[in-house]
Amino acid sequence: MANFNLFASTRGPALPAATSRNEAGGLAYARRPESALALYAATGCLNNTFYASAEQQLDHVLKLCAQVEPAFVAKTAIYTRQRGHMKDMPALLLASLTSRDGEAFERAFGRVIDNGRMLRNFVQIVRSGQVGRKSLGSRPKRLVRQWLDRASVDQLLNAAIGNQPSLADVIKMVHPKPADAERAALYAWLLGKPVDEAALPAKVRAYEAFKRSQSAPMPKLPMQYFSSLPLTTSHWIHLARTVSWQTLRMNLNTFQRHGVFDDKGVVYEIVARLTDADEIRNARVFPYQLLSAYHAASGLPAAIVEALQDAMEIATRQVPALDGDVVVAVDVSGSMASPVTGYRKGATTKMRCVDVAALVAACIQRNHKGARVMPFDIEVRKLRLNPRDSVMTLATQLAGLCGGGTAVSAPLAQLNRDKSRVDLLVLVSDNESWRDTRNGGATATMREWAQIKARCPDARLVCIDLQPTATSQTVESPDVLHIGGFSDAVFDLLAVYAAQGGTATRWVERIDSIAL
Specify whether 245 is located in the same domain as 362.
no
Q: Is 359 among the domain residues?
A: yes
How far is CA 472 from each of CA 68, 109, 430, 468, 469, rounded to the nearest angstrom? 19, 31, 9, 11, 8
- Which of the listed residues 268, 293, 315 is the one where a domain comes to its end? 315
Number of domains in the chain: 3
Contact in structure between 48 and 54 (CB atoms under 8 Å): yes
Query: How, if at all, do strands 372-376 and 20-21 pair?
Result: unpaired
Specify whether 467 is located in the same domain as 383.
yes
- Nearest Cα neighbor of 481 from 467, 451, 502, 466 is 502
Specify whether 101 is located in the same domain as 158.
yes
Tell me the pLDDT tens digit for each residue of 247-266.
999 999 999 999 999 999 99
Domain range holding 466? 320-512
Specify whether 186 is located in the same domain as 290.
no
Side-chain-side CA neighbours of 79 within 13 Å: the count stands at 27
For the chain (516 residues), the mean pLDDT of every run of 10, in chain order, is 48 80 89 90 73 81 94 96 89 95 96 95 93 90 96 94 92 94 96 95 95 92 91 95 92 94 94 93 80 83 93 77 88 87 68 84 82 93 84 84 91 96 93 85 94 95 88 92 81 79 81 92
Residue 152, helix vs strand vs coil: coil
Specify whether 381 is located in the same domain as 409.
yes
Specify whether 241 is located in the same domain as 100.
no
Specify whether 257 is located in the same domain as 373.
no
Specify whether 473 is located in the same domain as 449.
yes
pTM of the model: 0.86
Specify whether 347 is located in the same domain as 240.
no
pLDDT at 6: 45
Specify whether 492 is located in the same domain as 347.
yes
| Amino acid type, 90 | P
Q: Is 485 among the domain residues?
A: yes
Specify whether 311 is located in the same domain as 325.
no
DSSP 207-242: HHHHHH-TTS------GGGGTTS---HHHHHHHHHH
Q: Is 40 among the domain residues?
A: no
Contact in structure between 380 and 410 (CB atoms under 8 Å): yes
How far is CA 377 from each of CA 333, 438, 452, rounded to the nearest angstrom? 4, 17, 20
Specify whether 492 is located in the same domain as 348.
yes
pLDDT at 295: 81
Q: Is 85 among the domain residues?
A: yes
